[in-house]
């Protein structure tokens, strides 16, 4: 079961201080209580309770009564964190707008001085593949690619050129939409190409941080920018930002397309709604780990029909992607160990899902959480048959 310490650590990642996080988790667990009771349940010094409550009230996470004794109540998680969720959505939308504006700026650049017009020229749909092969082959240091299904199809036709530059130890990175993971075209890309998932996608190829090829997926036409100026630099920065927050795909390589899509969907659901759902479930359910399964089922993911081995395989792939971790099952001791190289409760939502699946299959579970500041965290699920 997810413990209060883990919830506190997760809240600190959302910008709350340690005292604020402890107080909020205590309020979520206990309901409306006095300030004195809050000091007791949250293990805060009495001198810090009122300043902490005021900060929670200012952040719209708690309500404080004007009467004496002072009573306090937590704002429901789905209301308290709604603005934070929308803030993240707005950041993604802003990045999409930035990419569109940069593309428009590059198209309009040819209308300026004649000397700049020479850096930009159109490529017909019939000649795009030939230019792409040439630009890949002539690259000297790196290739960064954002591609949709259209762009991935073109890359599939450039396998020999990609192998050639990879043999020269060039770094080739590719961002794809989730729908293309483990597709036939995906599997045609050489294994040495680093591939990640992102939903912020256009057909943009950046070579050596200077040359840029953009392709229109509606008509297949392209535009090449050969410049050391702002466009290549900005496109590389945009790529780096998206790459940093994208999802790794190495652990999905041996899966079918449907299996990989399911893993990605689970990650997306938990990333978007997992924290608020866990916090809310502490008030309404004695078994929050089962509530996580309900959240997945509500979004079209049903794990109840899968075997224990299949569920462990899914969770192992998720842990590799999200925490550089693993799930290990010891058939002799009947213990499951979940390891994460990241601290601060990163593995706990996935441990909760696995715990819930075990309970649904008739197992009795006991969960132990261990945290090491230098080695990461470990969750041990001890199981026995009811």
Using the Cα atoms of residue 286, residue 289, residue 293 and residue 298 in order, give the sign of their dihedral. positive
* Domain end marker among 248, 267, 296: 248
Residue 166 has what DSSP assignment? Answer: H
* Residues lower than pLDDT 70 in the chain: 1-3, 106-120, 200, 227-230, 274-289, 386
Residues 53, 103, single domain; the answer is: no
What CATH number does residue 287 fall under? 3.30.1380
Question: 13 lies in which domain range?
Answer: 4-75
Residues 149, 237, single domain; the answer is: yes
Per-residue pLDDT of 134-181, as tens digits, reads: 999 999 999 999 999 999 999 999 999 999 999 999 999 999 998 888
Tell me if 345 sits within 8 A of 6, measured CB to CB: yes
What CATH number does residue 48 fall under? 1.10.10.10
Residues 235, 105, single domain; the answer is: yes
> How many independent structural domains does the chain possess?
3
Residues 239, 93, single domain; the answer is: yes
Per-residue pLDDT of 66-105, as tens digits, reads: 888 889 999 888 887 777 777 778 887 888 888 888 877 7
What is the structure's pLDDT at 1?
42
Residues 271, 330, single domain; the answer is: yes
Six-digit token string for 217: 């997926």
Q: How far is CA 21 from CA 24, 270, 287, in A?
A: 5, 21, 22
Residues 277, 189, single domain; the answer is: no
In angstroms, rounded to a whole number, what is the distance separating the alpha carbons of residues 56 and 51? 9
What is the structure's pLDDT at 119?
55
Residues 302, 209, single domain; the answer is: no
Using the Cα atoms of residue 53, residue 57, residue 61 and residue 66 in order, give the sign of their dihedral. positive
Answering whether pTM is above 0.85, one says no
Residues 203, 314, single domain; the answer is: no
* Domain end marker among 222, 248, 274: 248
Residues 280, 306, single domain; the answer is: yes
Residues 244, 173, single domain; the answer is: yes
Residues 231, 89, single domain; the answer is: yes
Q: How far is CA 52 from CA 7, 18, 29, 242, 266, in A?
A: 17, 10, 17, 36, 35
DSSP string, 294-335: HHHHHTT---TTS-HHHHHHHHHHHHHHHHS-EEEEETTTTE
Residues 126, 231, single domain; the answer is: yes
């Amino acid at each position: 079961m997810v413990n209060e310490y883990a919830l506190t650590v997760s809240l600190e990642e959302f910008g709350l201080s340690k005292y604020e996080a402890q107080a909020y988790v205590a309020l979520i667990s206990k309901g409306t209580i006095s300030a004195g009771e809050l000091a007791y349940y949250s293990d805060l010094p009495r001198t810090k309770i009122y300043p902490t409550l005021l900060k929670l009230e200012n952040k719209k996470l708690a309500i404080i009564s004007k009467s004496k004794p002072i009573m306090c109540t937590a704002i429901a998680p789905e209301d308290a964190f709604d603005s934070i969720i929308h803030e993240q959505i707005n950041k993604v939308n802003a990045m999409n707008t930035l990419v569109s504006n940069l593309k428009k700026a590059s198209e309009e650049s040819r209308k300026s001085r004649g000397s700049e017009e020479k850096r930009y020229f159109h490529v017909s749909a019939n000649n795009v593949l030939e230019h792409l092969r040439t630009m890949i082959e002539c690259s000297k240091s790196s290739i960064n690619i954002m591609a949709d299904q259209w762009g991935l199809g073109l890359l599939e036709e450039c396998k020999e050129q990609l192998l050639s530059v990879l043999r020269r130890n060039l770094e080739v990175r590719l961002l794809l939409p989730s729908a293309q993971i483990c597709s036939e075209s995906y599997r045609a890309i050489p294994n040495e190409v680093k591939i990640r998932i992102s939903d912020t996608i256009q057909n943009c190829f950046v070579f050596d941080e200077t040359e840029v090829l953009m392709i229109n997926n509606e008509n297949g036409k392209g535009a090449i920018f050969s410049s050391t100026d702002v466009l290549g630099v900005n496109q590389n920065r945009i790529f780096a930002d998206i790459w940093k927050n994208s999802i790794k795909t190495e652990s999905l390589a041996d899966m079918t397309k449907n299996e990989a899509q399911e893993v990605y969907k689970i990650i997306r659901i938990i990333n978007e709604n997992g924290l608020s759902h866990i916090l809310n479930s502490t008030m309404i359910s004695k078994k929050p780990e089962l509530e996580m399964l309900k959240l997945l089922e509500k979004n079209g993911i049903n794990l109840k029909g899968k075997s224990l081995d299949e569920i462990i395989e899914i969770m192992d792939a998720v842990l590799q992607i999200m925490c550089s971790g693993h799930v290990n099952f010891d058939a002799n001791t009947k213990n499951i160990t979940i390891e994460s190289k990241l601290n601060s409760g990163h593995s706990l939502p996935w441990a909760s899902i696995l715990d819930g699946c075990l309970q649904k299959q008739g197992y009795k579970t006991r969960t132990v959480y261990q945290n090491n500041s230098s080695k990461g965290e470990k969750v041990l699920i001890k199981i026995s048959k009811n």
